Amino acid sequence: MIRHQSPVPEEVDSHIHEIIEAYKENSEKILYSFKDDLINVFRNAKLKQPGENPNFFLRDLLDRCMLRSRGFANSNVVQWEMTPEILDYITAVLGETPIVKESPLVWLPPEFYQAETYCYRACMDDTQVFDFGYFKGEQIQGTMEGSVECWGEDHFSGRGTMTIAVGSGRLRRIDIKVVVLGYIICTGTGILLDASSRIWFYNVPDSVDLYLEGNSGQVPLVAIPSTGMTKYTEVRFLERYDKVDVVVKEHRGD
């Protein structure tokens, strides 16, 4: 009865340590932070009074962990100081709606020379996923992760030059400065921004996923309404090129 009413700190510490050791190789830094929160909650736990919510310690833990991290990390690393799985579990026990970020209702291209900062802040705020209208009757979404996953060690990311070959016979080459904003979700089609604030869909060679449409190396120019893209916008192409080569590299900011 005494142990039930008043947890012994040493025993609590030992039990929590065993749990942490079993899972720490998945996410060591996050779990150690979570371990400290658990220990503090148990050490400060009071005797339950009649009519008191039996989940009060979970409520306290959730409130403490919802504080924004001061470090440089987004929800792929930490989710308000706890993993998404733990956050979902605690909200479920408390009978609350899962905590998620809503996608922006309207999307407009960022400034060309601020693209990397824009993608970084979007990932930090969990607003990198946005509705990009519908294409051939299907709704599509883009994600501002600044890269497209490819086979091999290097992914398609950064800024550089898109070279388009136009004409027939003796081809004329056009060079356009571009930066990689991200990709259309579930595809290997990258979203490129040029210095004139135009958006291009580029079928990245060696991408892991299939393309939204077309073949490797193709690139269409996307019509972006002045009011921005929404889930109800029909995706239209103004131009399309087949012989395209895009060379980009990571921007170091110097």
**Average pLDDT over all residues of the chain:** 78
Contacts of 32 (CB under 8 A, 6+ apart): 20, 24
Which range, of 36-45, 68-77, 151-160, 228-237, averages the lowest pLDDT?
68-77
Sorted by where each begins, the domain ranges of the chain are: 2-93, 112-249
**pLDDT at residue 79 tops 80:** no
Structure-model confidence comparison of residues 82 and 248, the more confident one: 248
**pLDDT at residue 251 tops 80:** no
> What residues does 202 pair with on adjacent strands?
190
* Cα distance between residue 95 and residue 52, in whole Å: 16
Per-residue pLDDT tens over the stretch 130-160: 999 999 999 999 999 999 999 987 899 999 9
Backbone angles phi, psi at 98, to 5 degrees: -55, 140
Task: Indicate left, alpha or beta for 47 from its phi (over 0: left) and psi (-120 to 50: alpha).
Answer: beta
Which of 15-29, 77-91, 160-174 has maximum average pLDDT? 160-174
Backbone angles phi, psi at 17, to 5 degrees: -60, -40
The H or E element spanning position 101 is: none
Q: How far is CA 31 from the centre of its chain?
A: 21
DSSP notation for 51-93: T--TTHHHHHHHHHHTSPPSSS--TTT-BTTB-HHHHHHHHHH
Per-residue pLDDT tens over the stretch 163-184: 998 877 667 899 999 999 999 9
229 pLDDT band, cuts 50/70/90, is very high
- pLDDT above 90 covers a percentage of the chain that reads 46
**Under 8 Å between Cβ of 31 and 20:** yes
CA atoms within 13 A on the CB side of 165: 10
* Cα distance between residue 95 and residue 82, in whole Å: 18
pTM of the model: 0.63
Per-residue pLDDT tens over the stretch 180-225: 999 999 999 999 999 999 999 999 999 999 999 999 999 999 999 9
Closest CA to 132 of 156, 149, 108, 159: 108
Structure-model confidence comparison of residues 3 and 122, the more confident one: 122
**pLDDT at residue 49 tops 60:** no
Q: What is the pLDDT of residue 26?
A: 55
